[in-house]
Amino acid sequence: MSEADTITSNAKSNLAFTLMDLPEERRQNMARLYAFCRIVDDIVDEPGMTPEERHAALDRWVEIITCKFPAMPGIEAEVQKLMVEMQLDTAPLLELINGCRSDISPRQPQTRQELLHYAYQVAACVGIASAAVMGASPAARDYAMALGYALQLVNILRDVAEDCRKHGRVYLPADDMELFGVTVDDIYNQRYNYRMRQLLAYEAALAEKYFCESEELYQAMSVEDRNALIPAQAMSLIYHNVLEKMQDDEYRVFERRYSVNNFRKLWFLLRARIGSFEFPSIAEWGFLYGEKKDS
């Protein structure tokens, strides 16, 4: 098993689960991409590192993906091989590194625009790179971006308490919090009340908007692109289910961590595969049963 496979398997993430649907070569390449994203994200949260050490570790990965220096054997070499063999655009991955770098000295976004810029860096750009690795055409870029926004917003809602208390980060825009009369202290001390519920529902509506946008874009894609992006669409179904659970539970994110069990993940993967098919029209079905097609 490659180091990328080991990292992906040990992560037990939703994405890792959906990769089983890919052909082996694409699955391996996605494992390399996922491992890179995971490592870069972990650099920011790894305990015992100084800010200088975190920046240096991220700088090293800039060198790897831009192929400025030879990679060390192992995951560095695997990621560099992915970049070279697939001729991946480095821009989205450099944006990811910059987004993670901003978490070293976190600053709460003031506006939704600032929140979406961060989500673009750490999620939408990952979606863009993933779509390319999965074999989708450039036409899938808007879908990948919209889905990336939706997934990241769900992550922020689900992890709002942990991000604040453990990492000192608040991703909910200050303007939105002020609108509903919620403070950072309220989040840190997990004050669950009407104002907090209204704030979280407000942010959930933004996530819902991007889920709807990504679904419309997915349905408008070619069959080839839909087939290539089955794992991404499964991720959409899984994360939307997490969002629905939070909504149905009135956003009790301070009390529990919302997740989806493996059986339901498998069901969503199957739904994504079925949803990628282009079914014959009624006229075509008639032709299949021997009825004469109009000329």
Q: Give tens-digit pLDDT for 240-257.
A: 999 999 999 999 999 999
**For the chain, how are helix, strand and coil distributed in percent, rounded to 5?**
75, 0, 25
Phi, psi of 135, deg, nearest 5: 100, 15
User: Cα separation of 107 and 94, whole Å?
Assistant: 20
User: Cα separation of 78 and 5, whole Å?
Assistant: 10
- Residue 259: per-residue pLDDT: 94
CA distances from 276 to 30, 212, 270 (A): 20, 17, 10
257's CB contacts (< 8 A; 6+ apart) are 158
Region of poorest pLDDT, from 13-17, 76-80, 102-106, 225-229: 13-17
- Residue 277: per-residue pLDDT: 64
8-state DSSP, 139: G
Q: Between 75-86 and 3-11, two packed helices, what is the crossing angle to 10 degrees?
A: 100
User: Cα separation of 195 and 62, whole Å?
Assistant: 42
Region of poorest pLDDT, from 8-12, 114-118, 191-195: 8-12
Q: What pLDDT band is residue 295 in, cutting at 50, 70 and 90?
A: very low
For residues 253-272, average pLDDT = 93
8-state DSSP, 294: P
Nearest to 214 by CA among 151, 164, 274, 269: 151
User: Cα separation of 207 and 152, whole Å?
Assistant: 8
- pLDDT tens across 94-111, in order? 999 999 999 999 999 999
Phi, psi of 109, deg, nearest 5: -65, 140
Copy the structure tokens of residue 150.
Answer: 């939706």
Around Cβ 14, how many Cβ atoms within 10 Å? Answer: 18
Contact of 85 with 33, CB cutoff 8 Å: no
For the chain, the residue count is: 295
- Residue 70: per-residue pLDDT: 84
- Residue 100: per-residue pLDDT: 98
Nearest to 210 by CA among 139, 132, 290, 112: 112
Residue tagged 């192929």 (tokens): 67
For residues 199-207, average pLDDT = 98
Contact of 158 with 247, CB cutoff 8 Å: no
- pLDDT tens across 109-141, in order? 999 999 999 999 999 999 999 999 999 999 999
Q: What pLDDT band is residue 278 in, cutting at 50, 70 and 90?
A: low
Copy the structure tokens of residue 205.
Answer: 């509506």
- pLDDT tens across 224-238, in order? 999 999 999 999 999
- Secondary structure of residue 5 in the 3-state scheme: helix
Phi, psi of 47, deg, nearest 5: -70, 150
User: Cα separation of 107 and 120, whole Å?
Assistant: 16
Q: Which amino acid is at 45?
A: D
Q: Please state the pTM of the whole predicted model.
A: 0.91
Region of poorest pLDDT, from 14-18, 87-91, 154-158: 14-18
- Residue 194: per-residue pLDDT: 98
Query: Which domains, ranges and CATH numbers included, belong to the chain?
Result: 1-105 (no CATH), 131-295 (1.10.600.10)
Copy the structure tokens of residue 27.
Answer: 């699955």
